[in-house]
């Protein structure tokens, strides 16, 4: 059975996609699927086997990924490895540093896309990533392209990580790293022509969530 409603949220790194998608899904009573968590889980799984990242082959990443699943938890899914839930370890800096390399492997992309589509079957879902609206769900009922100024994305990320107001120097260094990551992921990060662009630079999270949820309700009401 196909998904009933699919809302895709794509955009660059640290634009707040996952937290927004999760919140929107909760507001609508839909399920959230985070495609980036699968690229992260595949990177983490490959790291458990020997070999420097420069030597990783697509085959070796896929064999690590064979142990990965998506377990349903209330309103969402979490990746598992060998049946064990994966948590914050997939967000660690060493995983973040290598995940773009893994995300460029076409076989890995096909694997992620398959897992995400399976998770979405039979549910109303909010899926977030880089190419959900273009490659994975080209017929989604609503597509959102979420962007924010790099300085603001860096500031939010640091505030969350440090739990205090970051200095301008810290934000500048983080902005530099974020812009480099955007460039590493640029090929995979594609705005759908029929996506609604939402720039969150001057929006609070509740505002962006409400805006997207209102769009989703309007689209659902028409179908």
Contact positions vs ligand DC (CB under 6 A): 13, 35-36, 39-40, 99-100, 103, 129-132, 185, 188
| Closer to ligand DC by Cβ: residue 95 or 209 | 95
C-alpha distance across the termini of the chain, in Å: 17
| Closer to ligand DC by Cβ: residue 86 or 132 | 132
DSSP state of 77: E
Chain centroid, CA 76 distance in Å = 13
| Closer to ligand DC by Cβ: residue 10 or 124 | 10
Rounded to a whole number of angstroms, the minimum distance from the CB of residue 131 to ligand DC is 5
Rounded to a whole number of angstroms, the minimum distance from the CB of residue 222 to ligand DC is 27
Rounded to a whole number of angstroms, the minimum distance from the CB of residue 179 to ligand DC is 14
Rounded to a whole number of angstroms, the minimum distance from the CB of residue 148 to ligand DC is 14
| Closer to ligand DC by Cβ: residue 61 or 99 | 99
Alpha-carbon torsion (202, 208, 210, 213), positive or negative:
positive
Rounded to a whole number of angstroms, the minimum distance from the CB of residue 173 to ligand DC is 18
Helix (H) or strand (E) holding 28: helix 17-28
E strands, 53-212, in order:
68-73, 76-81, 84-85, 125-129, 142-147, 196-199
Nearest to 205 by CA among 21, 10, 70, 5: 21
Give the pairing type, strands 84-85 and 76-81: antiparallel
For 56, residues 6+ apart whose C-beta sits below 8 A from its C-beta are 46, 101, 102
| Closer to ligand DC by Cβ: residue 179 or 220 | 179
């Amino acid at each position: 059975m196909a998904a009933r409603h699919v809302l895709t949220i794509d955009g660059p790194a640290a634009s707040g996609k996952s937290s927004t998608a999760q919140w929107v899904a909760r507001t609508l009573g839909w399920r959230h699927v985070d495609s980036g968590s699968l690229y992260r889980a595949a990177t983490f799984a490959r790291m458990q086997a020997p070999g420097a990242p420069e030597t990783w082959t697509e085959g070796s990443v896929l064999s690590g990924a064979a142990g990965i699943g998506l377990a349903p938890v209330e309103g969402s899914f979490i990746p598992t490895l060998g049946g064990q839930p994966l948590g914050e370890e997939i967000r660690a800096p060493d995983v973040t540093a290598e995940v773009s390399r893994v995300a460029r492997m076409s076989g890995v992309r096909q694997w992620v896309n398959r897992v995400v589509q399976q998770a979405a079957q039979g549910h109303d879902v909010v899926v977030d990533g880089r190419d959900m609206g273009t490659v994975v769900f080209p017929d989604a009922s609503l597509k959102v392209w979420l962007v924010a100024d790099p300085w603001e994305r860096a500031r939010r990320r640091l505030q969350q990580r440090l739990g205090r107001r970051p200095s301008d120097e810290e934000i500048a260094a983080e902005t530099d790293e974020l812009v480099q990551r955007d460039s590493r992921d640029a090929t995979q990060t594609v705005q759908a022509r029929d996506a609604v662009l939402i720039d969150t630079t001057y929006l609070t999270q509740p505002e962006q969530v409400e805006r997207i949820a209102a769009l989703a309700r309007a689209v659902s009401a028409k179908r």
